[in-house]
Amino acid sequence: MSQLEPLISDLALILICAGVMTLLFKSLKQPIVLGYIVAGFLASPNMPYMPSISDGHGVHVWSEIGVIFLLFALGLEFSFKKILKMGAAPIVAALAIIFSMMYVGSLAGHLFGWSDMDCIYLGGMLAMSSTTIIFKAFDDMGLRQERFAGLVLSVLIIEDILAIVLMVMLSTLAVSKELEGTQMLQSILQLGFFLILWFTVGIYLIPLFLRKAKALMNEETLLITALALCFGMVVFASAVGFSAAFGAFVMGSILSETVEAQKIEHLVAPVKNLFGAIFFVSVGMMVDVNLIIEYIVPILCIILAIMLGQTILSTCGFLISGQSLKTAMQCSFSLTQIGEFAFILATLGTSLKVTSDFLYPIVVAVSVFTTFTTPYMIRLAEPAYNVVARVLPAKWIAKLESNSAEGTEETENDEMRLLWRTEFKRYIFIMLINSVLCVAIIGIMYYSGAPLIYDLLPEPWSGIVTAFVTLFFCAPFIWALLRRGADSKDVDKLWDEGGNLMRVKITAFGILRLAIGAAFIAFIIGNTLPKIGMYGIFAVIGIAFLIFISPYSKQHSDRLTKTFTENLNVREHQQ
């Protein structure tokens, strides 16, 4: 009889335990995620009365793949355009909740005398509510159509994207071992740069590729292609210093804007469910009953911190965002749990060896308890509001109840302000995308193109050719920086009817865009032709003028912009 590999027998044990527990928890009308965690505990060496896994490293690798698939699937459900259409209220509320709960978690860790890294990671875990559990609770209770439920789900979407950012920041912090402001700012800028670059290039190229290959795409080839793109981005993200999960999320969010997004999501779902189950089972394997008993006081205190922190501080966050008191309390009582991202952050801390062994089982225990209490907390929101309404003075209640987003109607009726807000966003969008693309082209030329040219040609021709090639590829994007949208009808209307202050704003943005475009030209000239000296100023002015009037730059910029815009909106138009 042949001997099975340990990983295969471990997988059999994991799936058998997971299958039994999911059926049991489904019959009890409890979240299946909890069934996976219980299955992991039963299959772990911490449960001496059951068979246990023998290859812990292999299961860990499988669980990392599970994280990749979970984040890829999350990206497929995510849309940057949805964030922009939500308005300020969910963004303000999400930021207030995350920062306040991170502070609560960090403070709780310090009170128990834990290390700085344990406190920071605990704060991150407590800041992220569980999207899966709240979705299920709203469905089971028939609340998905309620106004507060829509606001909660919007906040959860923003929390998910901020959780990805938090993962990158914590990874950087784990490597540097210290919280240093300059390095953290550099990491944030690097994150923003690559996020914009990948999204822009991906939205331009991937839909084109999928359209060209459409005749060859059946379910099998589409699935393999989507997974190839996912893992390709995972490798690339890891190569430039980001986590694999971040790369998977980025590729998922790019594919979410294509017409094939829904089909890819359907095809990926079974694979995600399999590897996601293995990940959550691996979470359960970290549960140690002895550690839970030893740390029962911190566990109870953290549960209390989540309950009080979310109900009080999150209510304040929703009030700040412009919601009424009742809506704010309904939203905050729905967020009193931690879930998937807490496990992912705990796994990250463990794999980077920056958190203590006791933190993982504590977080799992807290998550299990708060998951069970979620439906009861949602039901408790309205009775709690009634109590608060009786206790607080009537004037306060009237003021808080009128604290809604309706107060923005005055600005919405102001046509000039609305028009300027639209143009301001467009200016920022143009400057960010085209600046990032110019930086990317310069970087590619500096690290790859220039060494090859300098090997082939002598000075000064090598510098001249390098400058010419770099400027040739940058020209459409520099032209967009200099001129894109400056001669639109909306800008003309703002200039004619907006008054002197509006003219100052438009002029200031025009000068800023000219300065950025000239700075890129000056950087290219200065680094490729260092001996040009004072003549460089005239060279920069001359090149900027040529790009400004160049039909080539305008045509290519228009074509690139048109293709990008069509790809970005094609799914919306099809629907």
Q: What is the pTM of this model?
A: 0.79
Q: pLDDT of 241-262, one tens digit each? A: 777 878 888 898 889 888 888 8
Q: pLDDT of 325-347, one tens digit each? A: 888 888 999 988 887 778 788 88
Residue 526 scores a pLDDT above 60: yes
3-state secondary structure 297-353: HHHHHHHHHHHHHHHHHHHHHHHHCCCCHHHHHHHHHHCCCCCHHHHHHHHHHHHCC
Choose between 144 and 472: higher pLDDT: 472
Q: pLDDT of 146-204, one tens digit each? A: 878 878 877 887 887 777 778 777 777 766 655 555 666 777 778 788 888 888 888 88
Q: pLDDT of 39-60, one tens digit each? A: 888 888 877 777 888 877 888 8
Q: What percent of the chain has pLDDT over 90?
A: 10
Which pLDDT score, from 0 to 100, does residue 233 have? 92
Maximum pairwise Cα distance, the chain: 89
- Worst-scoring range by mean pLDDT, 166-170, 308-312, 446-450, 539-543? 166-170
When the pLDDT of each residue in the chain is averaged and rounded to a whole number, the result is 82
Which pLDDT score, from 0 to 100, does residue 279 have? 84
Q: pLDDT of 406-426, one tens digit each? A: 444 444 346 777 777 778 888
Residue 4 scores a pLDDT above 80: no
Sign, CA torsion 515/464/561/542 = positive
Q: Kindly indicate the confidence band of residue 485, based on its pLDDT and cuts at 50, 70 and 90.
A: low
Q: pLDDT of 389-400, one tens digit each? A: 888 777 777 776
Which pLDDT score, from 0 to 100, does residue 439 have? 92
Which pLDDT score, from 0 to 100, does residue 178 have? 58
Which pLDDT score, from 0 to 100, does residue 407 have? 44
Q: Kindly indicate the confidence band of residue 575, based on its pLDDT and cuts at 50, 70 and 90.
A: low
- Worst-scoring range by mean pLDDT, 159-173, 330-344, 361-375, 497-511? 159-173
Q: Could you tell me the CA-to-CA distances from 101 to 71, 86, 108, 326, 368 in Å, in that order?
A: 23, 22, 10, 21, 19
Distance CA 114, CA 121 (A): 11
DSSP state of 3: P
Taking alpha carbons only, the member of 136, 128, 137 closest to residue 156 is 128
Which pLDDT score, from 0 to 100, does residue 228 have? 94
Which pLDDT score, from 0 to 100, does residue 148 have? 83
- The structure tokens 């050719």 sit at 465
